[in-house]
Structure 1
Amino acid sequence: MENLFADRPVLATGEAFDELLRCRNVRIERIVSSPMPDPAWYDQPQDEWVVLLAGRARLELAGDVLEMGPGDHLFIPARTRHRVLATSDEPRCLWLAVHIEP
């Protein structure tokens, strides 16, 4: 057994991705964000469902800006351009992402 909140890295910039499970076409990962996330655009070949467990974040998704808080979750269809615009410093953002490969 492991704990999602344990052993979180403290990053100055960017994000840390930890794969928790890979089973057939599903991959689950924990994402820890710094207060200065990489503003790069993502355009992934797989669907993604993501939930913010701690912190606050602002995302840009297909031209819309979304404000997220703890418990907020969303589905990002494959090939939907998105990026993280801002994340909180305290508490740091902790995400759980489920990727569904084609």
Structure 2
Amino acid sequence: GKAHPWHEHPVDETILVIEGRLRFMHAETETICLPGDAIFLPARTRHGSVALQEGAIYVIALRPVEFA
């Protein structure tokens, strides 16, 4: 599935899994996320992810600094 290599953002990020499974990595942790799972990442948190099946659906929301 789709992969997002290790990266970070200058703003907060929330990821919500809608369908399928997502392998999510941050710090030294790896988690399998299922539908309904949500992940909150403070700004500048290094992370990456891999969709574990074709057709996995997840929402990525970034909060611009001016809305903080």
TM range (shorter): 0.7 to 0.9
Q: Which has the larger radius of gyration?
A: 1
Give the aligned partner of residue 93 of structure 1.
Answer: 56
Give the aligned partner of residue 8 of structure 2.
Answer: 43
How many pairs are equivalent? 65
Give me the whole-angstrom Cα distance separating, in 1, the residues matched to 2:56 and 2:34.
9
After TM superposition, the score normalised by the length of structure 2 is 0.82
After TM superposition, the score normalised by the length of structure 1 is 0.58
Give the aligned partner of residue 81 of structure 1.
Answer: 46
Structure 2 gaps, min length 5: none
Q: Which deviations, in whole Å up to 9, do the C-alpha atoms of 1:34-70 show, x marking residues without a partner?
A: x2x2352121101011100000011101211011010
Structure number with higher helix proportion:
2
The 4+ residue runs of structure 1 with deviation greater than 6 A are none
Q: Measured at CA, do residues 96 and 39 of structure 1 come closer, stay the same or move farther in structure 2, by a change above 3 Å?
A: closer
Structure number with higher strand proportion:
2
Structure 1 gaps, min length 5: 1-34
Q: Measured at CA, do residues 85 and 96 of structure 1 come closer, stay the same or move farther in structure 2, by a change above 3 Å?
A: closer
Q: Equivalent pairs: percent with the same residue?
A: 29
Give the alignment of 1:22-41 within 5 angstroms: 35=1, 37-41=2-6
Give the aligned partner of residue 27 of structure 2.
Answer: 62
Higher relative contact order (CA 8 A, sep 6+): 2
Q: Considering only aligned residues, what root-mean-square deviation do their CA atoms show, in Å?
A: 1.4
